[in-house]
Structure 1
Amino acid sequence: VSPLPFAPRGGISGWSRRYRGLTLLLTFLCYTSYHLSRKPISIVKVPGRGDTLGTPRGHPGGHPGESLGTPCRDPRDTLGTTWGHPGENGDNYKELFGALDNAFLVAYAVGMFVSGIFGERLPLRYYLSSGMLLSGLFTALFGLGYFWNIHVLWYFIIIQICNGLVQTTGWPAVVACVGNWFGKGKRGLIMGIWNSHTSVGNILGSLIAGAWVSSAWGLSFVVPGVIIASVGLICFFFLVEREWRPRLRMDVPELPVLAGAGGDVGKPASITAKKNLPKLPWNFWCWSFGPAAISFLGALRIPGVVEFSLCLLFAKLVSYTFLYWLPLYIVNVAHFGAKEAGDLSTLFDVGGILGGIIAGLVSDYTGGRATTCCVMLVVAAPMVGGVTPVALSPPAMLIVCGGLVNGPYALITTAVSADLGTHESLQGNAKALSTVTAIIDGTGSVGAALGPLLAGLISPTGWNNVFYMLITADVLACLVGARVPARGRDLGWCHWDDPVGMAPSGWCHQDGAIGLAPLGRHRWDGAIQMVPLG
């Protein structure tokens, strides 16, 4: 008889496979919408034809080509804001764009360290869906500044800060959900394919923003805001955050059990040994052996967390500099229009999809996550600098460069984070996933904030200097990744001398009279039998 009256043929395993696929699909859509809502600003800030970011509708003297940088004579422009644009009395337009980028990225980096702590202690479904609804709200508010005729820089900066904070709900939650459902066997390949949501979101965001960049740039933000909020509602109703387990009953039959501390091991014990069991409510025995949340410092002590975090810092610095500044670079160097530059920049994200899949596949085959990252970073350094074979056309160069830059970034933020979050030293405590993911991605987000800021400060001195900065970051990422230790289980297993040994995750080192097995196992040396309720 099937344990569930409504279970399909094949029992719970059949449901497990279906929910596993559903979780993978929903989390893919969730983070695709996150990146879709982040991309428009890199398209809209590019000077082009028609109304772009900052141009007042009906502005006196306004003309096609005015953008966020255009000096605005609207009396509501306060705080002495100068919206500089090249050729429009605004040599500081790149610095202002960098300030907008950094408002989001700094808030994202700071919020990420806190986000993982909340993600472990709140239901992931509620946490993720509420974050997506708020992200949709703030993304739409940015675009509504166009329709409300707002030209105060601080309005957009405050919206960017709020959006950066609420968007930190996404990554720790989706990685924890996927990590709860998938083991380590093919995690690199599965998460490499799954992580293409980053590039897919960037591509869709570029295309959606480009559709309105020349007419009404506000819609370039309002439409992605509506999309991410809608996906958040779908997530709320359908996401299953972890595999369901049947409720268990604990029976203590009159069988020989191990003697207590100081006794003779193997000597038959009286059934009165049951008196040593603590008198706890029945629900405690059934449910309280779930994993406990790990502390921030405890997560830092997991081997490899610090090294991979620093490696991601430099890798993400390079990736996000391309994300925010590649369209503007194409406009300035190739003299394309805003829409054409946005469309061409999507090739970098196409390469990112391929790079993430290849990195995951190679790391699964070789078993070396750090080695895979280092090799790709070494090859990426000359590619970023433009040292490529002459036979490669510019589109092909963007694809190859995107794969080499985003491959290590994708591998670290997915498979590596999940591996470290389920490290053997944690004894199966899956609740460490959110904290470990938040630490790694939060540190990487510091690099994501520094990259566009440095690009905005350095680009006035020449684009070559920007690429020298990116090459340096790639080399530093490789050097840090090379230090990842190949250590095994060095935090040890928990050790209890009590009559009942209970580790937070349900494991114990059996020195006492009774050793409690993890939930779902049926026997532990004959002392306790875990039986599903019939």
Structure 2
Amino acid sequence: MPAAYVQYSYLGLFWNAANLLICFVQSMTRGHFTVKCTYFLILTELCCVCFHLSRKPISIVKSELHKNCSHVMEAPSESSSSQQPVLHPELDCSWKPFDRNNYKQLLGAMDYSFLCAYAIGMYLSGIIGERLPIRLYLTVGMLTSGLFTCLFGLGYVYDVHSLGFYIFVQVANGLVQTTGWPSVVTCIGNWFGKGRRGLIMGLWNSHTSVGNILGSLIAGYYVSSNWGLSFIVPGVIIAAMGVICFLFLIEHPNDLKIASAQSSASSNQVVVVKSEAEPSAISFMGALRIPGVVEFSLCLLFAKLVSYTFLFWLPLYITKAAHLDAKKAGDLSTLFDVGGIVGGILAGVLSDKMGKRATTCAVMLLLAAPTLYGFSMMSQFGLGPTIGMLLVCGGLVNGPYALITTAVSADLGTHKSLKGNARALSTVTAIIDGTGSVGAAVGPLLAGLLSAQGWDQVFYMLMTADFLALLVKLHLDNFKGDFLSI
């Protein structure tokens, strides 16, 4: 059996230490596969929470980048109250270059630069990820993501007012964040069979909403006093989690045995063994030919368009519609993600019970469109109705999105046409999520353009996207084949 040897070095020592830690995990959970699965789910959940946590601050900080500079503040004065108020622009002024009248377009361009880079990078990330150790690939992605997230916040610290700087950071961060999703979904597919994927991944996919909630709370805590920390703190968190991931992530249940064998080898070298019988990675076109991949990719495009428009624009909408400050709007927007947690779990449970993932998505999409219209109407009638509609919208919008990106991707990546080749999972996941990310890029951009004509136009766009996603689902029902049960 061919083997490659890495000479003793600090990297080799670090790799050996990581394998010893994995062996420690094995010894602590010996004979308890359920405990090992729980450990794995918690670790990957935390990794994904950190990815989403680091994406959220931009939506909270938007209202701070462009304040209401026409607000008039009165300076303390011993003169009569009839004296004209004094404007203090240094106390209530926007952050250049977002102080212009086209600030919505500039903020939308930042969203678009991140999401467009994410969408393009995702197609490449899955192909690269299948050819590299997942643990190392994921770690590098988390460390670099932490770096670029912190860089955005350092723009405040060093008084940077260049739009090009912020666009560059967003593009770079979008590219490196593509390492996350294909890696963790591949690991999930390795650990769990198809029968209970809906429930397990519905619970596990709560990381999206949990990350958004934590990101909102962290960013909201600092946004009014020092918005740079709204980025720096999440950046440090995801980088630290990257180190933990490298030390403790177990890619496959079989890796426990491999790590045990490697730990008994000489401490001066790391042995990397490649099996001659290992299946080759699937090609991009080969993944596209898997039944259902194209259809679910298009459906996710429209579903993610809606979800990410809420992600990036909901706090600003609440600020304008409910006349709340940035912190309160950010806190209130977390209710959309709370509803998303419930919706993701409910979608997973229903799809497992019925054995029809496409049907489950179709029903939730059918209900989501009129609910979005209801939210645009009810948000004008006070805080109570707004809270209720945020919860319902979050569940119906994020339910199909969560189901497609997790259970459906894993099912398609282990489709019987692959004849047991599990190495297709990363590429299939990347194709589906990459196509969805095209919608995620287009949605916030359109929202930035349409909001200039009124927020009603934005909600009409969101409802149209939901109906288009539903049409793609109905197209699936016209086919005969085993992927109808997906």
Identify if the C-alpha distance between structure 1 residues 63 and 171 changes in structure 2 by more than 3 Å, giving closer, same or farther: same
Letter of the 1:206 counterpart? S
Q: Tell me if 1:29 matches 2:56.
A: no
Q: Deviations over 1:365-394 (max 9, x none)?
A: 000000000100000000011178999721
Tell me which amino acid in the other structure corresponds to 2:438: V
CA RMSD across the alignment: 2.7
Deviation of the 1:149 alpha carbon: 1.1
- Residue type of the partner of 2:373? G
Displacement after TM superposition at 1:20 (Å): 2.0
**Pairs within 5 Å for 1:355-394:** 355-386=343-374, 393-394=385-386
Following superposition of structure 1 onto structure 2, how do residues 81-92 of structure 1 map, counting pairs within 5 Å? 82-84=97-99, 90-92=100-102
Q: What's the secondary structure of 1:431's corresponding residue?
A: helix
SS across alignment from 1:210? helix
Query: Can you list the C-alpha shifts for 1:443-472, whole angstroms capped at 9, x where unaligned?
Result: 000000000000000001010011000000
Give the match for residue 329 of structure 2: 341
Aligned to 1:132: 142
* Alignment-mate amino acid for residue 462 of structure 1: G
Which residue of the partner structure matches residue 458 of structure 1?
450
CA distance in 2 between counterparts of 1:231 and 1:286 reads 28
2:24, 2:107 → 1: CA distance? 59
Is 1:65 the counterpart of 2:65? The answer is: no
Shift of 1:19: 2.9
Structure 1 residue 288 and structure 2 residue 281: aligned?
no
Match of 1:446 in 2: 438
> Residue type of the partner of 2:367?
V
Q: Counterparts in 2 of 1:186-225, with a 5 A limit? A: 186-225=196-235
**Change in 2 beyond 3 A, CA 1:147/1:7:** closer
CA distance in structure 2 between the partners assigned to 1:10 and 1:325 by the alignment:
44
Alignment equivalent of 1:299, drawn from 270, 273, 287: 287
AA at the equivalent of 1:372:
T
Displacement of 1:438 in angstroms is: 0.1
The letter of the residue matching 2:344 is G
Match for residue 529 of structure 1? none
Distance 1:7 1:352, change over 3 A: closer
- 1:468 counterpart (460, 464, 467): 460
| Cα pair 2:135 2:249 within 8 Å, conserved | yes
Aligned residues: 425
CA drift of 1:23 comes to 1.6
- Please name the residue that 1:478 is paired with: 470
Q: 1:470 & 1:135 partners in 2: Cα distance?
A: 29
Amino acid corresponding to residue 66 of structure 1 in structure 2: C
Counterpart amino acid of residue 314 in structure 2: L
- Structure 2 residues without counterparts, runs of 5 or longer: 1-22, 70-86, 259-270
Matches within 5 A, 1:38-437: 38-47=55-64, 62-68=89-95, 72=96, 82-84=97-99, 90-244=100-254, 287-386=275-374, 393-437=385-429
Q: Is the 8 A contact 1:111 1:168 kept in 2?
A: yes
Deviation at 1:243, TM superposition (A): 1.4
When residues 454 and 233 of structure 1 are mapped into structure 2, their CA distance, relative to the original with a 3 A threshold, is: same
Q: Distance in 2 between the 1:44 and 1:328 partners?
A: 9
Q: Does 1:487 align with 2:475?
A: no
Query: CA 1:7–1:231 in 2, change beyond 3 Å: closer, same or farther?
Result: closer
CA distance in 1 between counterparts of 2:235 and 2:28 reads 41
Q: Is the 8 A contact 1:143 1:220 kept in 2?
A: yes
Q: For 1:436 and 1:35, locate their aligned partners in 2 and report how far apart those are by CA, in whole Å.
A: 21
Distance 1:232 1:61 in 2: 44
What secondary structure is seen at the aligned counterpart in 2 of 1:63?
coil
Kept after mapping to 2: 8 A contact 1:127/1:169:
yes
The code of the aligned residue for 2:141 comes to G
Alpha-carbon distance, 1:48 to partner? 8.4
Preserved contact between residue 66 and residue 98 of structure 2 (Cα < 8 Å) = no
Distance 1:181 1:93 in 2: 46
Cα distance in structure 2, aligned partners of 1:109 and 1:355: 25
Shift of 1:9: 11
* 1:68-111 Cα deviation digits (max 9, x unpaired): 3xxx4xxxxxxxxx533xxxxx3201000001111100000000
Distance 1:214 1:51, change over 3 A: farther
Structure 1 position 487, deviation (Å): 1.2
- The structure with the larger Rg is 1
1:141 to partner: Cα distance = 0.5
TM-score by length of 2: 0.83
Deviation (angstroms), 1:477: 0.3
Retained in 2: the 8 A contact 1:50–1:215?
A: no
